[in-house]
Amino acid sequence: MASGEVKLIGSWASVFVMRARIALHLKFISYEFLQETYGSKSELLLKSNPVHKKMPVLIHSDKPVCESNIIVQYIDDVWNSSGPSILPSHPYDRAIARFWAAYIDDKWFISLRSILTAQGEEETKAFIAQVEERTELLEKAFIDCSKGKLFFNGDHIGYLDIALGSFLGWLRVVELDANHKFLDETKTPSLTKWAERFCNDPAVKPIMPEITKLAEFARKLFPKPQG
Amino acid sequence: MAERSEEVKLLGMWASPFSRRIEIALTIKGVSYEFSEQDITNKSALLLQLNPVHKMIPVLVHHVKPISESLVILEYIDDTWQNNPILPQDPYEKAMARFWAKFIDEQICVAAMNVVGKTGEEKDAAVEATRDLLKFLEKELVGKDFFGGKNLGFVDIAATLIAFWLMRTEEIVGVKVVPVEIFPEIHRWVKNLLANDVIKKCIPPEDEHLRYIKDRMVKLNIKPA
């Protein structure tokens, strides 16, 4: 089951693609990284993900798996005897990790992205306040989940670390754009320390995009209105 | 000695598809539970305490610890009680099951709700959008009794939202979103569901359910057809 060619359709800038790459690195899996060109979608992508036509898509022995958090769990299932466990072992801890991973995508990320597309100062302020509130919840979640250890998952990075940590590059880009810090030592002391540890993890460091390059890409994706 | 059923408590609501999913899963597993009917228009202190983030049902409480979000709860139930598995064992099939369940909640549910209260061209467009999404599920059912194969599985449980909420309310909404001519496999699957003992036990009674939906639409100022 664990043998068979592994390909990943994605892009250097995508948070969701990064999740899959971190999981593959944690399990020491070699894979072919098929980078999409910005502005167009390859035939392979459209064929492998006809429902959403989005990256990442993991192709394992010619079978496509879509949706970043589903890919991460698939990698953990298939290569369960390789590297550390990505999902927590206890069912309750797993449920909590899944709960917060869903929260990050459904609520936290949506507010964060809204800052980049906000029209005018009032709207921007409102979304900033929303992200502040939601980040505070994640600070508490970290304290609960980590139980005094280094990561949400304990001693090693895991599912929830990957779910949130993959956003750290983009979070920095939004902080610079909005001139507002969401992670800092006074407001979110635990998450701030965790963020640094996460970015320096050997499975993460080689693929965390450079902030200036990401900021430049963000300006292309989210052009500012004139004036 | 404490009653075993007190260990598992479900905060739910009789007409909610998300709440009913949990009842189906617990029934498949043969797990006794205490059901606590919640008034979602006047949320209890208990609900707000157990789900402070979303303040929504369902919430499963097991050994005093609360779990929220229906798909998260379903996975927890499958992880905790290993008899009658809900998710496939094969990692690829498991990934596909998770994919379709997410698709139902994030795409189909949203598209179907978008049909309600619309008229004319807007309604037609909303119906078309919903049908385009349902066609993916139609394909998945070819050659199978259920999404899970021979038995009810994770996707079937999630998709009861389509069978007993979307399809039941078609008359009230005023359009057949899921006609049998376009979706013969889905209709065949619904018949299989209705013949299943767990489903029969766990879905809201039709007449009462339709009355409830009509009432809600009136309260929300949406004209039933």
A64, closest residue in chain B (CA to CA): B92
Q: Hey, how many other C-beta atoms are within 10 angstroms of the C-beta on A193?
A: 14
Tell me the pairing of strands B8-12 and B34-37. Answer: parallel
Residue A227 clears pLDDT 80, i.e. is over it:
no
pLDDT tens, position by position, A48-97: 999 999 999 999 999 999 999 999 999 999 999 999 999 999 999 999 99
Q: What is the mean pLDDT of residues A125-151?
A: 97
Q: Please, which residues 130-149 of chain B have a Cβ atom closer than 8 Å to chain A?
A: 136
Q: What is the ipTM, given to two decimal places?
A: 0.96
Say how many Å lie between the first and final Cα of chain B, rounded: 54
Q: How confident is the model at residue A4 (pLDDT cuts 50, 70, 90)?
A: confident
- Residue B144's identity, in one-letter code, is K
A70, closest residue in chain B (CA to CA): B95
Q: Do A77 and B91 touch (CB under 8 A)?
A: yes
Indicate the pTM of the whole model. Answer: 0.96
Q: Do B103 and A65 touch (CB under 8 A)?
A: no
Q: Which H or E run includes B60?
A: strand B59-62
Size of interface A-B (CB pairs under 8 A): 57
Q: Do B94 and A74 touch (CB under 8 A)?
A: yes
Q: Which of chain B's residues have a Cβ under 8 Å away from the Cβ of A16?
A: none
Q: Which of chain B's residues have a Cβ under 8 Å away from the Cβ of A51?
A: 103, 136
Q: What pLDDT is recorded for position B175? A: 85
- Top residue of A57, A62, A98 to mutate, by most chain B CBs within 10 Å, is A98
Q: What pLDDT is recorded for position B182? A: 98
Could you list the pLDDT tens digit for every one of the 225 residues in chain B?
444 545 999 999 999 999 999 999 999 999 999 999 999 999 999 999 999 999 999 999 999 999 999 999 999 999 999 999 999 999 999 999 999 999 999 999 999 999 988 889 999 999 999 999 999 999 999 999 999 999 999 999 999 999 999 999 888 888 899 999 999 999 999 999 999 999 999 999 999 999 999 998 888 887 766
Q: How confident is the model at residue A223 (pLDDT cuts 50, 70, 90)?
A: confident
Q: What pLDDT is recorded for position A182? A: 97
Quick one: what percent of chain A has pLDDT higher than 70?
A: 97
pLDDT tens, position by position, A142-179: 999 999 999 999 999 999 999 999 999 999 999 999 99
Looking from the CA of B97 toward its CB, the CA atoms found within 13 Å total: 26
Q: Which of chain A's residues have a Cβ under 8 Å away from the Cβ of B69?
A: 98-99, 102
Q: Which of chain A's residues have a Cβ under 8 Å away from the Cβ of B73?
A: 95
Tell whether B68 lies on the interface with A, counting CB pairs under 8 A.
yes
Residue whose entry in the numeric block shows the structure tokens 């980590």:
A146
- The partner residue sitting opposite A63, judged by closest CB among B75, B80, B92, is B92
Q: What is the mean pLDDT of residues A14-39?
A: 97
In DSSP terms, B35 is beta-bridged to B10
d(CA B218, CA B200): 28
Q: Please, which residues 35-54 of chain B have a Cβ atom closer than 8 Å to chain A?
A: 53
In DSSP terms, A53 is beta-bridged to none
Angle at A195 between CA A126 and CA A189, to 5 degrees: 70
Tell whether B94 lies on the interface with A, counting CB pairs under 8 A.
yes
Tell whether B104 lies on the interface with A, counting CB pairs under 8 A.
no
Residue A112 clears pLDDT 50, i.e. is over it:
yes
Q: What pLDDT is recorded for position B2? A: 46
- The partner residue sitting opposite B65, judged by closest CB among A71, A77, A92, is A92
Q: What pLDDT is recorded for position A1? A: 52
Q: What is the mean pLDDT of residues A98-105?
A: 98
